[in-house]
């Protein structure tokens, strides 16, 4: 084959890097290791101070909304894994809940408990990952190793449940596909019993660490108005003084039956966000303990149902499919043609580890959603960098990107 000359050139030929007014344009990314993915930032600098920031995203755009319009509802479930791949069950869950609300399904209690177990494990995984990578960006290698060790335990538990470590696809529309394995609760208990000491270890390393405090305190302050205006949710909003947690305010599943607190801070800086992540891990552990009890109760009461009973939308249990002709026919139609939810639209928000994860579904009664809009929290947490970065210095960029906890699978979708 003839050799073809490669004409790949950088895309910023039209930008003058040294300008007359002594302003320097710095191109940060898209392959910067601390950008947590494919984030490109155009930074206009006066000396080391940023005067203008222009985040550029889209390097991981896969067109999920378009894909959803061309897939039956159950087919789309594994695609949602690829949004926030740090905590993929929470994406699965948001989609399943949206479709269930559209259809008007009630999920069996045991499935709800299993879902909550998965969701909170995912939250812990995500927060541990956040702590590890952010600490590594700041230079704290030890915390990175510690937090990844703990995350590994959780991934083992999840792997035992669904066979996957990152892209779980562990939740189905109408329930969960499987009961938890025998070792699940034991392993989880062992992990949870160690967790308080682990969190204390991280805090001992970081809380009074001079470098950590200098990089975190009074850096990246987001005022409440700015956070609200930019659509910030989750820890980003709670660190800016609004105690808004969808699990508490608009409870789904059994979150109204468990007791937990919503940590919030009115500081709005990086350190406040760090503290909130740490506290949320403790609250998640609290919820998990209660979920374990709830699960034991389900077993005691003999509640074995894992999927909702709705023959029009959900396949019958495997036993029925194998023994009853009508169930087999239903299953065949649902797999080959897909379920057809009623005509209407729904917007359902859930509290993912990053913030408000919303699914807007417009159904026209067909097996494919007519329009599906994914509201990913990280999208706006990246957008806010436009207003947040000016005034800060170059090293602050790294710590601010770290504490915003953005995941680019979710930003670009």
Partner 1 sequence: MRAYKPKDDLQAKAYYTDRYYVAPQVPKSAVEDDEIFAADLEAIKAKFEVKEAYIQVEQMVIYINAHDIYGVLELMRDELEYTQLSEMSAIDWLAKDDTFEIFYQMLSMTKRKRIRVKYFIKNGQAVDSVEKLFRSADWSEREMFDMFGIEANGHPFMKRILMPYDWQGYPLRKSYPLQGDEFAAWYEVDKIYGKEARDIIGPEIRDTATVDRYDSERFARLGFEVPKGTKITGNEERNPQEYQEEGGVFLIKKYTKESSKVIDDPQR
What six digits make up the tokens of 100? 């269930």
Of 53, 75, 49, 48, the residue nearest 64 (C-alpha): 75
Q: Is 234 in the site for partner 1 (CB under 8 A)?
A: no
Binding mask 15-34 for partner 1 (x = CB under 8 A): --------------------
Rg (CA), the chain: 23
**In which residue are the tokens 């994406």 written?**
91
Please count the residues of the chain: 413
Of 91, 140, 386, 86, the residue nearest 274 (C-alpha): 140
Interacting residue with partner 1 among 15, 190, 214, 329 (CB under 8 A): 190
Residues 247-306 that bind partner 1 (CB under 8 A): 249-250
Interacting residue with partner 1 among 340, 350, 407, 408 (CB under 8 A): 340
Of 236, 214, 224, 230, the residue nearest 55 (C-alpha): 230
**In which residue are the tokens 């000359």 written?**
5
Q: Which stretch binds partner 1 (CB under 8 A): 150-158, 174-182, 299-307, 395-403?
A: 150-158
**CA–CA gap between residue 361 and residue 371 (Å, rounded):** 6
Interacting residue with partner 1 among 25, 192, 213, 226 (CB under 8 A): 226
Q: Which stretch binds partner 1 (CB under 8 A): 16-24, 25-33, 264-272, 344-352?
A: 344-352
**CA–CA gap between residue 190 and residue 400 (Å, rounded):** 34
Interacting residue with partner 1 among 242, 262, 299, 394 (CB under 8 A): 242
Residues 49-88 that bind partner 1 (CB under 8 A): 57-58, 61, 63, 65-67, 69-71
Interacting residue with partner 1 among 24, 42, 148, 156 (CB under 8 A): 156
Round to the nearest angstrom and report the end-to-end CA distance of the chain.
37
Instruction: Specify the DSSP element, H or E, that contains 321.
Output: helix 318-323
Q: Which stretch binds partner 1 (CB under 8 A): 26-34, 134-142, 171-179, 382-390?
A: 382-390
In DSSP terms, which residues pair with 356 in a beta bridge?
351
**In which residue are the tokens 């239903």 written?**
330
Q: Which is nearer to partner 1, 110 or 375 (CB)?
A: 375
Q: Which stretch binds partner 1 (CB under 8 A): 152-160, 255-263, 316-324, 396-404?
A: 152-160
Instruction: Specify the DSSP element, H or E, that contains 98.
Output: helix 88-103
Interacting residues toward partner 1 by CB under 8 A: 1-2, 4-8, 57-58, 61, 63, 65-67, 69-71, 101-102, 104, 153, 156-157, 187, 190-191, 226, 228-231, 233, 242, 244, 249-250, 337-338, 340-349, 356, 358, 360, 362-368, 370-371, 373, 375, 379-380, 383-384, 386-387, 412-413
């Amino acid at each position: 084959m003839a050799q073809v000359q490669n004409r790949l050139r950088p895309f910023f030929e039209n930008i003058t890097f040294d300008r007359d007014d002594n302003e320097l344009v710095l191109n940060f990314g898209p392959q910067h290791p601390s950008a947590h993915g494919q984030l490109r930032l155009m930074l206009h600098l006066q000396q080391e101070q940023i005067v203008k920031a222009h985040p550029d995203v889209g390097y991981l755009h896969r067109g999920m909304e378009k894909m959803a319009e061309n897939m039956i509802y159950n087919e789309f479930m594994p695609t949602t894994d690829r949004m926030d791949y740090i905590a993929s069950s929470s994406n699965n869950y948001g989609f399943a809940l949206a479709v269930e609300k559209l259809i008007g399904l009630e999920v069996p209690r045991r499935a709800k408990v299993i879902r909550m177990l998965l969701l909170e494990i995912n939250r812990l995984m995500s927060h541990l990952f956040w702590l590890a990578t952010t600490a590594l960006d700041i230079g704290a290698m030890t915390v990175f190793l510690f937090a990844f060790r703990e995350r590994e335990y959780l991934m083992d538990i999840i792997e035992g449940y669904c066979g996957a470590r990152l892209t779980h696809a562990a939740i189905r529309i109408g329930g969960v596909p499987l009961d938890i394995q025998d070792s699940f609760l034991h392993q989880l208990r062992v992990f949870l019993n160690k967790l308080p000491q682990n969190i204390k270890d991280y805090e001992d390393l970081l809380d009074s660490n001079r470098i950590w405090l200098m990089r975190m305190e009074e850096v990246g302050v987001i005022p409440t108005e700015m956070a609200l205006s930019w659509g910030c949710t989750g820890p980003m909003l709670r660190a800016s003084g609004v105690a808004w947690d969808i699990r508490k305010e608009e409870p789904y599943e059994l979150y109204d039956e468990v007791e937990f607190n919503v940590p919030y801070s009115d500081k709005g800086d990086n350190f406040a966000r760090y503290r909130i992540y740490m506290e949320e891990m403790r609250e998640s552990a609290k919820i998990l303990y209660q979920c374990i009890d709830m699960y034991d109760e389900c077993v005691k009461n003999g509640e074995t149902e894992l999927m909702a009973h709705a023959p029009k939308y959900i396949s019958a249990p495997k036993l029925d499919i194998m023994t009853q002709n009508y169930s087999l026919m239903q299953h065949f139609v649902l797999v080959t043609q897909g379920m057809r939810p009623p005509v209407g639209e729904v917007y359902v928000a859930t509290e993912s580890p990053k913030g408000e994860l919303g699914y807007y579904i417009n159904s026209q009664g067909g097996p494919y959603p007519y329009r599906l809009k994914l509201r990913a929290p990280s999208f706006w947490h990246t957008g806010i960098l436009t207003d947040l970065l000016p005034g800060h210095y170059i090293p602050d960029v790294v710590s601010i990107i770290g504490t915003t906890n953005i995941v680019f699978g979710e930003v670009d979708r």
